[in-house]
Structure 1
Amino acid sequence: MHGAICRQGCGEPQQKPSFVRQREHSSPAVAARSRRCVNSRPHLDSTTLQPNVASRIPDFFVLGRVGKSLIPALSRITTNRVTESRVEMLKVFRRRQAGFTLIELLVVIAIIAVLVAILLPAVQQAREAARRSQCGNNLKQLGIAMHSYHEVAGQFPISGGVTIAGNRAWEAGNHRKGSVLLKLLPFVDQGALYNKVDFQLDVEAGQNYTELRTKKIPTFICPSDPAGGMNSNNGNALSNYSPSVGAQRMINCAAYPGNHFGNGAGEPFSNRAGDISGMFAMEAWGARVADVSDGLSNTIMVGEVVPVCSDHTNRAWWSTSALWAATTGPMNYPINIAGCPGNGSTIGCNTISDRATAIAFKSLHVGGAQFLLGDGGVRFITENIDYDNYQRLGDRRDNKSVADF
């Protein structure tokens, strides 16, 4: 009975009946057992009670109190794990894409080649258009210079100087005064160079030659010419523009004898107006405005040449015997020498010494050449122009109307 009471009491203390208390106090043995029972009871302090109490709290009660703070934290943990997973996947993907396969490389090269093939001609055409425009501007500057000279001297510049009996204007001596372009230097912003030339002496010899030989004048050079205004053989400076002697008689080519209208029976080696078809001669003569009866807007004054195509135009821009191009030969007639239009042609009259064709107007522009007319206007004329109409443009006094060109 005392054991049962002890076991029961150890679990949960109960109020003992009075007769039990009396017997416990009266019996030493019972009192000792009672003390052992009390000592064996668990000590219910705060440390022991809290985990027991916490273990009995239902889960739903805990979630109800702290759920609002736990859910965002769980969400962040989940999001971070997903993000880290995606980053790892991207790293793996990038490592796999670090290089190109051979097929991909070939495709890229093919695409680039196609783009270059499409764009390169367009770029070249744009550059040529710019060069052609600059070439036309040079001719305009020459037109202004020509008329400025005419206002001062009363006529257009002459080639050479005073003709001495028994001596040609291009032959060595103090009478050799240089080309038409040399006389224009003060009017194309080259007054300093002009002042260095001693015109009392032969301008193509001695100190004059030293001063002039290698001087390239930008206004005299067409940007389309790869020679860049320089003779690669002798180092002389060149010009891509030549005064016109018109539809003059020329030798060395029976197919194009010249003198189309009977106004230039001999080669342009005369200082008499009646012997010359165009506005300039190779001798000491230059036309006046009054000498151009066909009208300045219908007469060629200056045109393009390719210096390497002739054994005259390739001498120098300042040379008396270099620049006397004519309309006698067709424009851009093939000359069989590297750098000339039509190089490699097997037709006749195609050497640099065939005057009618070699000293004909030529350019490196596609389809024609640019010309300065007597009134200062610049026109691009197609190389397919009617030959008869071309001769009318060259002759200053044929009294024939010029068709559209």
Structure 2
Amino acid sequence: MQSSRLKGFTLVELLVVIAIIGVLIALLLPAVQQAREAARRIQCTNHLKQLGLAMHNYHDTFGNLPAGQFSQQQLDDPNGQPNRMTWYVSILPFVEQKAMYDIVKPNMGTSPANTWNETVRKTVVEGFVCPSDPNGGKVGTDGFQGNYVGNSGHDIMVQANAATPSTHGEGMSGLFFVKSHIGLKDITDGTSNTLMFGEIRQSPQANCTIGNYWNGWGMESMFSTLFWINTPAPDFVPTGTVADNPWRKTQEMPAAGPGSQTNYSLRSTHPGGVMVTRADGSASFLPETISSQLLKDLSNRGDGSVITSF
């Protein structure tokens, strides 16, 4: 009689197969993650291109870009009702959100934007969300907070002086600030050499207002290039705590109180840099290795500096 032998895997063989599968997964996972990030970056690029197109359509209609914000914080009439509306509200009709705009339009000029229709304020518009940001699509106390903010320039974001001559110049050097009305003709450095929009990262903190589109009081819907891309230094808001900020010693910031300042830097979760929209409507990637001076030149609409390759 012939003896039969059971066929199957031994424990050692099974462990070897599992180990091989584990190695393959470890090798493939980074490639999958890179492919996903590449797709998210393409989507982010498309969002910024559409935003640039919307701004050009707005400019074609009104002859200038919308104001960065209408409220001047400390200079608001304490007995009046500051609008607090930002550029975001102005271009809603140009990003296929006219229904939202029509609902809040009757309130413009009569009450603060952060008290307008709650459903509208808390509506997340996907075209303003970077898909790579784990906190993207945040809804704060005032409403939706996005990832794309306007270029205010290269200097400290001083609300009280942002729209008037001051030690920081005539208004600010970018395209959006308090009661701004910049036209393409004012971009003397060339639209391809000037930033229009850039990315910020949303904070997981519930009370953080960066990217706030519905309460233009602290310039949260804008950025400046005072510091470099993905700087480890924190953003700061116009409160007395700014006096303890270590930047203060080197940046000669004015005292807190009337004329106090804010600053929000370009940041993203895209590896190595941020996506931006230029004033010509094109979207491109800025590496975090770009020089601080070149970044400032890109945010200044008329300093006459030559933009070199980077």
C-alpha spacing 1:107/1:391, structure 2 compared with 1 (3 Å): same
Give the 5 Å matches for 1:220-239.
220-231=128-139, 234=141, 236-239=143-146
What residue is the counterpart of 1:66 in the other structure?
Answer: none
Structure number with bigger Rg:
1
Match of 1:187 among 94, 112, 132: 94
Match of 1:153 among 47, 62, 65: 62
What residue is the counterpart of 1:213 in the other structure?
Answer: 121
1:138 aligns with 2:36: no
C-alpha spacing 1:130/1:349, structure 2 compared with 1 (3 Å): farther
**Taking structure 2 as the reference length, what is the TM-score of the superposition?**
0.80
Match of 2:223 among 325, 349, 354: 325
C-alpha spacing 1:116/1:404, structure 2 compared with 1 (3 Å): same
Match of 1:384 among 283, 286, 289: 289
Give the 5 Å matches for 1:257-276.
269-272=161-164, 274-276=170-172
Give the SS at the match of 2:197. Answer: strand
Q: Percent of pairs identical after alignment?
A: 35
Higher relative contact order (CA 8 A, sep 6+): 2
Deviation at 1:348, TM superposition (A): 5.3
Aligned residues: 282
Write 1 or 2 for the structure with the bigger share of helix: 1
What residue is the counterpart of 2:189 in the other structure?
Answer: 294
Give the SS at the match of 1:334. Answer: coil
Cα distance between partner residues in 2 of 1:285 and 1:178 = 13
Give the SS at the match of 1:307. Answer: coil
**Taking structure 1 as the reference length, what is the TM-score of the superposition?**
0.63
Comparing 151-160 with 372-381, greater Cα deviation is found at 151-160
C-alpha spacing 1:396/1:161, structure 2 compared with 1 (3 Å): same
Deviation at 1:228, TM superposition (A): 2.9
Give the SS at the match of 2:68. Answer: coil
Structure 1's unaligned 5+ residue stretches are 1-84, 251-265, 338-346
Deviation at 1:156, TM superposition (A): 0.3
Aligned-residue CA RMSD (Å) = 3.2
CA contact (8 A) 2:268 2:274 kept: yes
Give the 5 Å matches for 1:6-405.
92=4, 96-97=6-7, 99-161=8-70, 166-167=75-76, 174-197=81-104, 198=106, 199-206=108-115, 208-231=116-139, 234=141, 236-250=143-157, 269-272=161-164, 274-281=170-177, 283-308=178-203, 313-314=209-210, 316-321=212-217, 322-335=220-233, 349=247, 359-405=264-310
Deviation at 1:398, TM superposition (A): 0.5
Cα distance between partner residues in 1 of 2:51 and 2:160 = 22
